[in-house]
Amino acid sequence: MPSPDAIASLQKQFPGKVGQGKEFRGEWTVELDRDIIRPAAAHLKYDLGYNFLVDITSVDYFGDEPRYEVVYEFCVLGGPHDQDHLRLKIKVSEDNPTIDSIVPVYQGADWHEREIFDMMGLRFDGHPDLRRILMWDGYPYHPLKKDFPLEGLPSDLPGEEPFTRPAPLEGGPFVAAPELHAPALGEAGTSLHEPRAKPGQN
C-alpha cells in the first residue's frame, strides 16, 4: 500500500491517535500516540503489507519534554508497492521512559530495542530478553544520552576495563591525526581539532 494510504488507514484504525502525515523527498512520516505502537505495527504488517522492519532509532531532545523520540522505519518488500517506505515516530517522556515492544510483531526489532535500552535507557515492555547489547551488564549509564559527557563517567568495575574511567579527550579517539589537517591548520596542536580539549583538562 502506498505510504499516504497507509497513514490514512492508520488514522481510520486508531482515531485520534495518529497525526498528519508529512512528506519529504518522497518519504512519509507520521507521529503516533505511544500506547498504540504494537497494534499499529501489527496493522502495518498483517493488513497493509509492510513486511520489513528496516530500523528503530531514538533521539534525545535533552531540555525538552517529552525528552525522547523513538523512530521506526518500515518498508514493503515485493509486490506492486515494492520499496514503499513509512516512518513512525513516538514521543516518550523522561518520567516514564517505557514503550511497548514490537518484537511480538517484528522479530527483527529484538536487537534494535536492546540497543536503545542500552544506549538511551528506554525500556520496552514485552521484550523477551531486554538486556544490554553493547555495554556490560551492571554498567550504570546510557552513553547516547545528551547529558552523558563525551569523555565518559567513572564506574565501579574493578581493573582496567575500557570505559571505567573518564578518557582524556586530547589525543583520544575523537581527534583526527594532525597531518590530516595540516594544509588547513598547519602544525597546530590537537586542541584545535577537538575544541573541548583544553590545556590542563581531561
Predicted local confidence at residue 82, as pLDDT: 80
**Domain-embedded: residue 161:** no
The domain tally of the chain equals 2
Do 111 and 189 lie in a common domain?
no
Do 90 and 178 lie in a common domain?
no
Structural domain span for residue 110: 3-143
Does 66 sit behind a cis peptide bond, omega within 30 degrees of 0 on the bond before it?
yes
pLDDT-derived band at 41, boundaries 50, 70, 90 = very high
Radius of gyration of the CA atoms of the chain, in A: 21
**Domain-embedded: residue 38:** yes
- 24: amino acid identity, one letter: F
Residue 149 has which C-alpha cell? 559527557
- In this structure, what CATH number is given to the domain that contains residue 50? 3.30.460.80
Is pTM, for the whole model, over 0.85? Answer: no
pLDDT tens-digit readout, 131-178: 999 988 888 889 999 988 776 676 766 555 556 666 555 555 545 554
Do 64 and 122 lie in a common domain?
yes
**Domain-embedded: residue 12:** yes
- 198: amino acid identity, one letter: K
**Domain-embedded: residue 162:** no
